[in-house]
Structure 1
């Protein structure tokens, strides 16, 4: 297979691919074998009729057409890998020669990831949560422990946030009681919003004996619900004082002082552990805001596809799959895609922004970073580093790995050059910003050597045939 690449306007490239007659003849032979499996011819068992008999029956053109549909994705994928084309969508393929005989030639026009310029990234100010522990945070943890031993006391006053009220509640929709929204002597915590958030608004300030009538949206989005609520009793929680006795009862510490000290240490450890992640998230959001171009729709759709694959993988780990999940939740695939769209667009902007920073700061030209990454990958997989390199190159994933390494370097560059402060404007200790250990995606090295380019990443084929027939559904064989 010979191929050339040409850059076009609008973030597209054209691959021109030529397959010599002998190589394509191998694909034609395989095509006739597949066709023969589905034909019943007198005197031959299924799949055993020789090619000459099949040609006489259905014609050479049918075999070549089947070969084109089946083999074209592989030819396209090999050219894509050879030229390291950063495709972000499906190609438009047009056969330019050889549909009937001889060598086969075709053009593939492919949308590619845009390379953009960026400015403003050298003077970022990133604000993150302070790693210091506040007294309020410690008190909140203490109150959570105190609430384990809380008692309830009836009060004769209007309802306030956090009170526990005993109510009779009835929710009616379309003249019928709504299951789960009708109960008597129901103990409800004001502010929890578990029945409907509107209930909290009506209960606040109400008194025992009050009857409340209001309407609210159905929690399942099925219209409006008419609520009738009677307030029967109001209680408040009484929290015990923090003393040595309580500390011993709710923890392994014998004194309140030791318990509070331990809580402060635990909160501080957790917050310090989050600093690096929070700073990197802030840097990613900041660089996304610097991307001023309209994100290519193909790139957003690719990000959505990736999220759906991740969701399906998580569901399968729980014994489900995406199809059964959609049935159980009564949702359509398009609804899931729309839920992911906003986050996918942000992720696409982060991707473009980090690539731009890597380019303008020459971070994508450092082979040492790539070598270190491949060394780590080799250690994790138990393979020789040259074997790792060869597998990635053969599968077309080396481009993806190079990009990941460059984007990681760009993110660390942004952190090094940014002014990172807490909510009060105090500088954050940079020793807390150590980069995380690299995580090598298992799928990057779990490469079947018989596979070519991942069709999910690079699209299938939409072939414009000379006879005007639409593309087949064979792209999964790429």
Structure 2
């Protein structure tokens, strides 16, 4: 077999392959055997029909077609391996010449991973938010904890903001009660915004036994997005009572003896959270700077496929679970379809560039992924997917996804290397020292977000 490669552009090549006819022998034998099992000829046992009879009855062309279809993937793979080219996606194959007993010639056009040159990235500088925990932040955190320990007691008065009401709901669309539009004994905190638009104004001022009707757009169910006439009846009004903010509350709500100890712990936890967010912000901004430094051609077919995948996942999984279609989603977001398409394209380009650049860095820095790192990543992905580690691992192995997970971890390590060499300062001008132990782990999350693989995993889980 002879093959030659022609570069059509930085992301696409054409293979020209010439195959001597004798190299088709195994595929021809397999073609005769396959046809033998599929057809019946009087006077011959099934599977024992001579080749000359098959040629006479069904045509030599049918045999050649079957043989060529069987052989092409093997010859194409040999040509790719010989050229040592990293191809992307499926090739477009064109048989240019097929002479029985003489030769098979074909061409194959396919997208390829572009050649990328990584410049010196040691000089990257980024600015991130300073880690500052205010007294207001601490009091808000303590207040949220206090809310969790609130108690309720029935009152004989009209409902007010903050009260917890027990209500029955009935929704009608075009005068017809919906099958899934009836709910009884629903507990609702006035002002929480957790139910329908307009319900707060409807129930405020009502006592137990009172009812009101209001119009609202349904957020879910069989008539999601439609305007509905909703009747709400209050069966109970209860006032919420917050515990006193004292040492006794600290002992009730935590392992601490005093309120001051609880506040100190809240301040520490908030600082840790903000430091984590700061590290993520640093990694995101370093990645953006790195991508700006590198010229990355993006294969059009790969980009088109990535855009379609992102749209499919959004429409059929994320929005479907919320009872929305794309039109309603865009209306809520205040975006036009053109703006949505432009944003999706931009995100897809960033995802592809991120993968190409970090993969090149993995090779350049000779980074490897050990079993411990892969297992840790697998467990984190399992937790985010809602599956047990064993279930997730089984799904990954059965789906042949292990190399993809290895790639994610390796790219996270590559980004961590760049972040380690970058200068990170906060908005106060102070140099930020990031925790190296958490860098690669966090960086993998940042890479997944940039590539969109987290969304894909969620979509695959929903589809499964």
**TM > 0.5 between the two?**
yes
1:384 corresponds to which residue? none
Deviates more, 1:39-48 or 1:430-439: 430-439
1:351 aligned onto 2:352: yes
Q: 1:329 to 1:341 in 2, by over 3 A?
A: farther
What SS does the aligned partner of 2:256 have? Answer: coil
Q: 1:12 to 1:380 in 2, by over 3 A?
A: closer
In 2, Cα distance between the equivalents of 1:329 and 1:54? 58
Residue 458 (structure 1) aligns with: none
Quote the Cα distance in structure 2 between the aligned partners of 1:35 and 1:236: 81
Structure 1 distance, partners of 2:407, 2:156, is: 66
Structure 1 counterpart of 2:251, from 241, 248, 253: 248
1:172, CA displacement in angstroms? 0.6
**How far apart, in 2, do the equivalents of 1:415 and 1:406 lie?**
14
Distance 2:10 2:157 in 1: 72
Please say which of residues 297-306 and 13-22 is displaced more in the overlay. Answer: 297-306
Aligned pairs for 1:133-152 (under 5 A) are 133-152=133-152
Q: Does residue 413 of structure 1 match 2:408? A: no
Q: Give the equivalent residue in structure 2 for 1:373.
A: 368
Partner of 2:70: 70
Aligned residues of 2:133 and 2:270 also touching (Cα < 8 A): yes
Aligned to 1:335: none
Instruction: Measure the CA separation in 2 of the matches of 1:222 and 1:276.
Output: 39
Q: Does 1:219 align with 2:220?
A: yes
The CA deviation at 1:7 is 0.9
* Residue segments in structure 2 that go unaligned for 5+ positions in a row: 326-336, 376-399, 445-464
Q: Which has the higher contact order (CA 8 A, sep 6+)?
A: 1
RMSD: 5.2
Q: Does 2:190 match 1:190?
A: yes
Match of residue 95 from structure 2: 95
CA distance in 2, matches of 1:84, 1:240: 70
User: 8 Å contact 2:282–2:424 — kept in the other structure?
Assistant: no
Contact 2:213 2:229 (8 Å CA) reproduced: no
Cα distance change on mapping 1:90 and 1:355 into 2, 3 Å: closer
Deviation string for 1:170-218 (max 9, x for gaps)? 3111322234543466431234444324434x45976656845223245
* 8 Å Cα contact 2:160-2:204 kept in structure 1: yes
8 Å contact 1:118–1:357 — kept in the other structure? no
Structure 1 CA distance, aligned partners of 2:233 and 2:295? 55
Q: Is 2:15–2:108's contact at 8 Å kept on the other side of the alignment?
A: yes
Alignment of 1:146-165 (within 5 A): 146-152=146-152, 154=155, 159-160=160-161, 162-165=162-165
For structure 1, which segment, 182-191 or 67-76, has the greater mean C-alpha deviation from structure 2 after superposition?
A: 182-191
Distance between the aligned counterparts of 2:44 and 2:180, measured in 1?
66
Tell me the residue number matched to 2:456. none
2:32 maps to what in 1? 32
Structure 2 Cα separation of the partners of residues 23 and 331 of structure 1: 56
Is the CA contact (8 Å cut-off) linking 1:303 and 1:347 kept in structure 2?
A: yes
From the superposition, tell whether residues 328 and 102 of structure 1 become closer, same or farther in structure 2 (CA, over 3 Å). Answer: farther
For the residue of structure 2 that corresponds to 1:249, the secondary structure is helix
Q: Distance in 2 between the 1:186 and 1:402 partners?
A: 47
Note the alpha carbon deviations across 1:152-181, whole angstroms, 9 max, x for none.
365968743x44234454311132223454
- Separation in structure 2 between the aligned mates of residue 89 and residue 45 of structure 1, nearest angstrom: 43
Contact residue 423 and residue 431 of structure 2 kept, 8 A: no
Aligned to 1:238: 241
Structure-2 separation of matches of 1:224 and 1:135:
44
Given that 1:88 and 1:302 are in contact with CA atoms closer than 8 Å, whether structure 2 keeps it comes out as no
1:109 is paired with a residue whose SS is: strand
**Change over 3 Å in CA distance of 1:182–1:255 after alignment to 2:** same
Alignment partners' CA distance in 1, 2:239 and 2:43: 90
Aligned-partner Cα distance in 2 for 1:297–1:233: 61
Q: TM-score, normalised by structure 1?
A: 0.64
Contact 1:65 1:99 in 2 (8 A): no
Q: Provide closer, same or farther for how the CA distance between residues 437 and 174 of structure 1 changes in structure 2, counting only shifts above 3 A.
A: closer
SS of residue in 1 equivalent to 2:46: coil
Please give the alpha-carbon distance, in whole angstroms, between the structure 2 residues aligned to 1:49 and 1:343. Answer: 57
